Structure 1
């Protein structure tokens, strides 16, 4: 069956389909792909989708905790012949029914969703219309809300092993276009307040699938980390990101520079490996990037990731977190940027968050940021 097609930037073609249980599946074809336009339908016999989780408010911090018990049943390091992200075969009833370049689909065991504006049990929707957005910040013990939202899986390649950094420049550009397209689409869904693309890499991080992939979370609230950022902007000024980039550009921690992008180890880096990547021009999210910025990012991001992998003889575990502005506030002040972090402090040592960091949020850096920048800069330019 030929899926409806839309041509996006850089010649990427988007084809929309559905999985057997109704979840959305989107193919993003590379420019000049050799894949046929027709795609097989998902003919598996699947049960119903899990009920949307409920989130509970931690009265000590104000944070919302989504209790998603269905995630206990997700795949855990399956054998290669049962890879759930590989194209389906007669012996592997995976999540993607046909060959693909890049595929995005709704997570089978989501932390948020699939409900967007419906309540679960006796937990109201995340944003209660009579009270509006302020309802999530209201005081009180024992408060719960439905974990509305969307969680998606982004498959970077049909290959069973690798990561974003092992992809070609063309494939990286296709994924970037997918991130931009999904950011715009998810931001427009009811109840969504923030969209977060990320990649977890390595078993040391907790990865349960070796297949090269990332995820996108669409939250019904502004995340705690971003609330701290909003407070910093309120304290430091609306031009905070512009001044950070100017400050780092004049210092010793720049790792990589390009026309539209700059990568640097931040002045107060927490992790043994920590590098930020930001556009020089203000853009609140992927959807706001120009074609030229997206094109350059494909090669710049690959250079950065491959440099990170050259730090040691084996692949570096990391979390690649793309911070974007909330959907409805601070669009002119919060800039899209990557925060890539790794707990690897030596070839055979990891940094574990123990008493001070985990319990009190009081960090102690193991590696001086300037020393980390020197090593990363050398690795990126090798």
Structure 2
């Protein structure tokens, strides 16, 4: 039975999703390809309800003792799958810019629709790419989760940004952008609306950020010009990542937006800004960087490469990608 369990040590919820054990494996067929009989025959980009959701309006909390430390909650929320293309072998950078713009607008529109559910507090857009990060279907796709709470990583980011704003009256994420642009050592590419860089404190080799130059809370805040620029830089960054080892790089991509329906962070337009984080999981061409005792046990992340070195590798790969694109 799917529900939430409160962790009083970390002050966050663990999501219990027993239905995930029922997910099928598709070794010889793809349910996301046109002609599979499971989806519409033609599409450019497409949203689908997740058939094995972690979160759903139908999930109720189990009965619990009121005096117990063991508290549970309902896994009320939404989970959707977003198909990037009907082409089973396409990557983001294979797609035309206008196609990626359609994808971004679909992300935006589904977030707007999810935000109508007042039980949802945070909407997370993400992509797991490759078996190394748990993707069970090769077809290009991502997901959107609407959580009934603000996940701990995002809450920590928000608290840090709010504290910085109260101390300095400045937006921490925009300040990071400005310092990275001044320094230039870790910048990969940029355009009028976005910067792509490996941050000074990167937890992952090749752990690139895409950050808005302007203060924006949500995808819905972007102009059409900014959506075009985001499509361009997404294409460039994902192309560069695959050019590093000349093969598809497994990663998790996460879009960090502001929370919704939150009294605690109702003022976050002053101090938070949308950015995209890539977390590649290879430490070299053939070895996965597994999280070990320090990362898993203490949340003290270890990166095996300086951000400056990683940025040079990725800039070189970016030039190779752009040259091949011509």
TM above 0.5, one fold? yes
Residues 222-255 of structure 1: CA deviation (Å, up to 9, x unaligned) = 1100111122113322511121111110111111
Tell me which residue corresponds to 1:276. Answer: 209
Does the CA contact (< 8 Å) of 2:61 and 2:72 recur in 1? Answer: no
Cα 1:160–1:139 shift into 2, 3 Å: farther
Does the CA contact (< 8 Å) of 2:171 and 2:272 recur in 1? Answer: no
Tell me, in whole angstroms, the C-alpha distance in 2 between the residues paired with 1:164 and 1:70. Answer: 30
Residues 77-107 of structure 1: CA deviation (Å, up to 9, x unaligned) = 431xx311122x3xx332x133111110110
Give the alignment's Cα RMSD to 1 decimal: 1.9
Kindly state the Cα deviation for residue 381 of structure 1 after the two structures are TM-superposed.
Answer: 2.3
Tell me which residue corresponds to 1:293. Answer: 226
Tell me which residue corresponds to 1:176. Answer: 104
Higher helix share: 2
Cα 1:243–1:210 shift into 2, 3 Å: same
Is 1:161 the equivalent of 2:89? yes
SS at structure 1 position matched to 2:178: helix
Tell me which residue corresponds to 2:323. Answer: none
Does the CA contact (< 8 Å) of 2:174 and 2:273 recur in 1? Answer: no
Q: 2:63 aligns with which of 103, 122, 133?
A: 122
Tell me which residue corresponds to 2:70. Answer: 142
Is 1:100 the equivalent of 2:61? no
Q: 1:218 aligns with which of 137, 146, 149?
A: 146
Tell me which residue corresponds to 2:276. Answer: 338
Tell me, in whole angstroms, the C-alpha distance in 2 between the residues paired with 1:170 and 1:60. Answer: 46
Does the CA contact (< 8 Å) of 1:102 and 1:174 recur in 2? Answer: yes
Tell me which residue corresponds to 2:324. Answer: none
Stretches of structure 1 that go unaligned for 5 or more consecutive residues are 1-50, 125-137
Ranges of 4+ aligned residues in structure 1 off by more than 4 Å: none
Tell me which residue corresponds to 1:368. Answer: 306
Map residues 7-18 of structure 1 onto 2, 5 A cutoff.
Answer: none
Tell me which residue corresponds to 1:72. Answer: 21
Tell me which residue corresponds to 1:204. Answer: 132
Computing the radius of gyration from Cα coordinates, the structure with the larger value is 1
Map residues 32-47 of structure 1 onto 2, 5 A cutoff.
Answer: none
Tell me which residue corresponds to 2:315. Answer: 377
Structure 1 length normalisation: TM-score? 0.77
Does the CA contact (< 8 Å) of 1:75 and 1:209 recur in 2? Answer: no
Map residues 219-238 of structure 1 onto 2, 5 A cutoff.
Answer: 219-237=147-165, 238=170
Tell me, in whole angstroms, the C-alpha distance in 1 between the residues paired with 2:164 and 2:270. Answer: 15
Residues 198-231 of structure 1: CA deviation (Å, up to 9, x unaligned) = 1111111111000110000111001100111122
Tell me, in whole angstroms, the C-alpha distance in 1 between the residues paired with 2:271 and 2:121. Answer: 16
Does the CA contact (< 8 Å) of 2:62 and 2:73 recur in 1? Answer: no
Cα 1:123–1:259 shift into 2, 3 Å: farther
Tell me, in whole angstroms, the C-alpha distance in 2 between the residues paired with 1:111 and 1:163. Answer: 26
Structure 2 length normalisation: TM-score? 0.90
Tell me, in whole angstroms, the C-alpha distance in 2 between the residues paired with 1:271 and 1:300. Answer: 20
Is 1:255 the equivalent of 2:188? yes
SS at structure 2 position matched to 1:271: coil
Residues 17-66 of structure 1: CA deviation (Å, up to 9, x unaligned) = xxxxxxxxxxxxxxxxxxxxxxxxxxxxxxxxxx7x21111122122111
Is 1:306 the equivalent of 2:239? yes
SS at structure 2 position matched to 1:110: coil
Cα 1:56–1:317 shift into 2, 3 Å: same
Is 1:62 the equivalent of 2:6? no
Cα 1:333–1:235 shift into 2, 3 Å: closer
Tell me which residue corresponds to 1:242. Answer: 174
Kindly state the Cα deviation for residue 159 of structure 1 after the two structures are TM-superposed.
Answer: 1.6
